[in-house]
Amino acid sequence: MIEPERVLEALSGVRDPELDQSITELGFISDIEIDGDTVAVQLRLPTYFCAANFAYLMAGDARAAVLALPGVGEARITLEDHFASGEINDAMGHSKSFQEAFPGQAEGGLDDLRNLFRRKGFTARQQKLCRALLNEGRTLADLSVMQLGDLEPSPELQIYIERRRELGLDISPDAPFVVDAGGTPVPAEALEEHLRFARLVGVSIEANAGLCRGLLATRYGIPDPEEVAPT
């Protein structure tokens, strides 16, 4: 039997490509229905005009995540209340590519777009770890020579390592900690500027995420996840 909790856990690995956050954390899943080996998922977005390529990526990733669950034979992903719902839902139902779903409107694949946002997510996650270490009293010189194995295990470190893995970067314990998105170590003399840029990337992502959560809460009359006190 397929449990809803397992479906949610699988969907928690699907991220909004721009916000680098899980679609479950953002509240983008409105409903899950299970009938035998068929799982139907309703996906909602903050605005009617969210970019079609972003919406397609999330719907496609959600479908792949659900299909990967043991026992699932069919995954039906439905995007609701969106200007491109028809095209995207048809694409999900017939395994169409983005180009097939939007003929004449899409040039090339979505790999470049996905990689762009992976690089941004990697940069922002690295900056968070660096900021925490600097707050603990480490110096820029310390950071420039640190290796991944020097960092204390933490959930944030695990996410950072996963972002490195997605970009094909070295994740071994003796790999340099602070590298650019291409894997080149950042020298001590360039670290301050590197972190300043990374902070701007992180602030932009966090601001957009906050805006999207607020818009989603307003649109559907649901609590903003960031404002719900833990019980």
Decide: residue 136, CB within 10 A, 0-12 exposed, 13-18 middle, 19+ buried: exposed
Cα torsion at 155, 225, 128, 64 (round to 10°)? Answer: 60
Angle at 12 between CA 17 and CA 201, to 5 degrees: 35
What SS3 state is found at 118? Answer: helix
Confidence of residue 79 (pLDDT cuts 50, 70, 90): very high
> What are the sequence ranges of the domains in the chain?
4-101, 111-220
Is residue 230 pLDDT above 50, yes or no?
A: no
pLDDT 10s digits, 214-225: 999 999 998 776
pLDDT, position 120:
96
Q: Residue 30 half-sphere exposure, CB side, CA atoms within 13 Å?
A: 16
pLDDT 10s digits, 110-134: 888 899 999 999 999 999 999 999 9
Superfamily of domain 4-101, CATH level 4: Fe-S cluster assembly (FSCA) (3.30.300.130)
Model confidence, pTM: 0.89
- Only one residue has tokens 């959560």, namely 213
pLDDT 10s digits, 150-209: 999 999 999 999 999 999 999 999 999 999 999 999 999 999 999 999 999 999 999 999
* Alpha carbon distance 176, 178 (integer Å): 6
Sheet holding 29-35, edge to edge: 29-35, 38-43, 74-79
